[in-house]
Each structure stands twice: as C-alpha cells, then as structure tokens.
Amino acid sequence: MRKAKPKKRVILPDPKFNDQKVSKFVNHLMYDGKKNTSYEIFYAALDIVGGKMKDEEKSPLEVWKQALDNITPQVEVKSRRIGGATFQVPTEIRPDRKESVSMKNMIAFARKRGGKSMADKLASEIMYAFNNQGGAYKRKEDMHRMAEANRAFAHFRF
C-alpha cells in the first residue's frame, strides 16, 4: 500500500477484565475463529495460575502482565543486504510489535510444552515467564544476545 497508512482497528476489551491486552492475546491464541474457546482457555489458565501462586500478592491478571513484560524484547535483528553481503542489523522494535511478538512467543512455547490441556500449558508458561524462565524468556534473551553480537552493524539501520 503506497498512499495512506491503513487505519488501526479498534479492539474491544474482553468481557471479564475489561482489558484490551487480554483481547489481543486471545485473538493470537484463537484457531479457526473460535474466540469463545480461546477465552475459556485463557480464563482457565489464569485460574490455574491463581491456584498455584496463592502466596503472591498479585492477582493472576497482574502476574500475566508481568510475565508478558518479562518476555518482551527491546531489540531484534533484521537482515539487510548491502553490497552483496547480508548483515544482521540490530533495530529497536515498535511498541505495538513488542507486544505482539511477546504474546506470540508465549503462545508458541506454551503449545510446544508438554501437558494435558492448553490451559495447563499456558498457565505453566505464564508462571515460568513470571519467574524469568522458560522458552519464551530464553527466546528474548537470544534476540538480545544476537543484537549485541551484531552491534557493529548498527550504522546500517534503515
């Protein structure tokens, strides 16, 4: 699209917590347009988190938000071709993309995880991310490490 930027779609907040971030997460979690199923999975996962982390003074929703913040990357590397050579150029990530990347990573690593139901897998990934562990946190650390290693090519930024 060359002319105007497309308009941002307004995402309605979720029914239980009245939070837009939850709706975005559920939209990423959704398969085949089954939004009710993904809401059930998400709410069940938060119930599991609430049950397992009783000693925390935070609510399950706050735990989930903190977990997302813990796995949100600040920089990423993008391939840039210059003079026949391809360089991995570290670039900062836009705020909306940061949020999207962290949600997608959490869901992807929850799906890979062993467990009975998706709610169980998601709950355990949320708890691991809250404690700065797990696959999604490792992915963030790897992204930061790659950006640090390729810092010499930062002047090729777009």
Q: pLDDT tens-digit profile of 122-156? A: 999 999 999 999 999 999 999 999 999 988 888 88
Question: What's the mean per-residue pLDDT of the chain?
Answer: 91
Q: What is the mean pLDDT of residues 108-135?
A: 92
CA distance 106 to 143: 15
**For residue 8, what pLDDT band results from cuts at 50, 70 and 90?**
confident
d(CA 158, CA 57): 44
At residue 22, the pLDDT reads 94
- In the prediction, which pLDDT does 108 show? 95
Distance CA 96, CA 20 (A): 13
What does the pLDDT read at residue 58?
86
CA–CA distance, 118 with 62 (Å, rounded to integer): 20
